[in-house]
């Protein structure tokens, strides 16, 4: 009986149940046949890359960006082969990534508990909403002079500014996440007298996790942007510093090697955190059955 009811259920079940799609990054599901779509996408991506390389070469040889400020593909490649094995290259990456990781970790440690607390208390929410709304509109860059004055051009200064930029998206997502808890689900937990610890583990965190994962992705990307931007502006050690200083000294090809490195790291971070976000949402109406 079960097998037949189950298969019959499959048609009925769609969309009949469970939390509504209030989550912000509503994922769209590829509809219809998959294989031709994937092949087409691959072709499109390859075409796009080829197009970019052609545009690069045209930009480099035409001289519209001034003499020697945009290296040709050949020069870029030979410089890259030279730069990548050097210690300076890896030290620059390490400096950027360490401040990125530490800044992000501190943001998570501060923002998530505070956000969950604010989100679950109506009084705190009313009290803090105006402040949070104001603070998150302040770009980190404005604080660079103050931070440099206090800490110099150090990783510490970078980390403080990263935290300042990343804490807000995380905090807001944590607040949204906790507010998304279904009242009926909460009552179910309390009707069965489920302990506080289990409520956090089986109700609050799972409900909030898609929101937290979105906040984490936003924070991870903005942390990198802030890290590199501040390295350029304030000459703090890292990829950004190398990009700026090489460009200023007329070493455009070397500058591009660091620039492209930063872009690749950005892509990897986005990819990894998008993956995490999707995993956190396996049960969510917008993603059901799309993975695992």
Partner 1 sequence: MSDTLTSGGANAGAGSSAGISPSTPTLTAEPRMSVRSVSKSYTSDRGVVKRVLASVSFNVAPEEFVAIVGPSGAGKTTLLRTIAGLMLPTSGEIFFDGDEVTGPPERLALVFQDYSRSLMPWMTIEKNVTLPLRRKKLSKDEQKRLAAEALSAVGLGDIGSHYPWQLSGGMQQRVAIARAIAYQPDALLMDEPFASVDAQTRSDLEDLILALKKQYGMTIVVVTHDIDEAVYMSDRVIVLSGSPTSVRQVVDVKLGGQRDQLVTKSLPEFVELRNTVLTAVRRPVGEPSP
20 by Cβ neighbours in 10 Å (0-12 / 13-18 / 19+) ranks as exposed
Q: For residues 121 and 188, which CB has a smaller minimum distance to partner 1 in the complex? A: 188
Q: For residues 163 and 181, which CB has a smaller minimum distance to partner 1 in the complex? A: 181
Q: For residues 8 and 54, which CB has a smaller minimum distance to partner 1 in the complex? A: 8
The residues of the shown chain that bind partner 1, judged by CB under 8 A, are 1-2, 5-6, 8-10, 12-13, 16-19, 182, 184-185, 187-188, 190-195, 198, 202-203, 206, 209, 282-285, 288
Shortest distance, position 279 Cβ to partner 1, whole Å: 12
Vertex 154, ends 149 and 159: CA angle to 5°?
A: 95
Cβ(119)–Cβ(125) under 8 Å?
yes
Dist. CA 80–CA 73, nearest whole Å = 10
Residues 264, 267, 268, 269: is their CA dihedral positive or negative?
A: positive
Q: For residues 122 and 138, which CB has a smaller minimum distance to partner 1 in the complex? A: 122
Shortest distance, position 283 Cβ to partner 1, whole Å: 4
Q: For residues 71 and 210, which CB has a smaller minimum distance to partner 1 in the complex? A: 210
Residues 7, 12, 18, 19: is their CA dihedral positive or negative?
A: positive
Shortest distance, position 194 Cβ to partner 1, whole Å: 6
Q: For residues 87 and 292, which CB has a smaller minimum distance to partner 1 in the complex? A: 292
Q: Which of 213, 214, 210, 95 is nearest to 162 (CA)?
A: 95
Dist. CA 136–CA 198, nearest whole Å = 33
Shortest distance, position 20 Cβ to partner 1, whole Å: 10
Dist. CA 127–CA 116, nearest whole Å = 15
Q: Which of 231, 241, 216 is nearest to 158 (CA)?
A: 231
Shortest distance, position 284 Cβ to partner 1, whole Å: 8
Shortest distance, position 185 Cβ to partner 1, whole Å: 6
């Amino acid at each position: 009986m079960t097998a037949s009811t189950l298969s019959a259920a499959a048609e009925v079940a769609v969309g009949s149940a469970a939390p509504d799609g209030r989550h912000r990054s509503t994922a769209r599901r590829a509809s219809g046949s998959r294989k031709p779509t994937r092949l087409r996408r691959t072709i499109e991506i390859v075409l796009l890359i080829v197009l970019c390389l052609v545009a690069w070469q045209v930009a480099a040889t035409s001289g519209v960006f001034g003499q020697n400020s945009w290296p040709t593909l050949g020069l870029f490649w030979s410089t890259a082969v030279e730069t990548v094995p050097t210690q300076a290259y890896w030290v620059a990456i390490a400096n950027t990534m360490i401040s990125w990781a530490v800044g992000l970790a501190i943001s998570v440690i501060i923002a998530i508990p505070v956000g969950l607390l604010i989100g679950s208390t109506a009084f705190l929410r009313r009290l803090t909403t105006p402040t949070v709304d104001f603070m998150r509109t302040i770009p980190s860059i404005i604080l660079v002079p103050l931070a440099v004055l206090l800490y110099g051009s150090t990783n510490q200064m970078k980390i403080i500014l990263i935290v300042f930029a990343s804490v807000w998206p995380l905090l807001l997502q944590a607040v949204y996440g906790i507010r998304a808890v279904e009242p009926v689900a909460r009552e179910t937990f309390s009707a069965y007298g489920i302990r506080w610890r289990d409520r956090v583990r089986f109700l609050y965190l799972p409900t909030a996790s898609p929101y937290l994962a979105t906040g984490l992705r936003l924070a991870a990307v903005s942390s990198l942007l802030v890290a590199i931007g501040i390295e350029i502006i304030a000459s703090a050690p890292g990829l950004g510093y190398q990009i700026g200083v090489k460009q200023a000294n007329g070493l455009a090809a070397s500058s591009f090697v660091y620039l492209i490195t930063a872009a690749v790291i950005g892509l990897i971070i986005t990819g990894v955190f998008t993956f995490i976000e999707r995993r956190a949402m396996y049960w969510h109406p917008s993603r059901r059955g799309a993975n695992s």
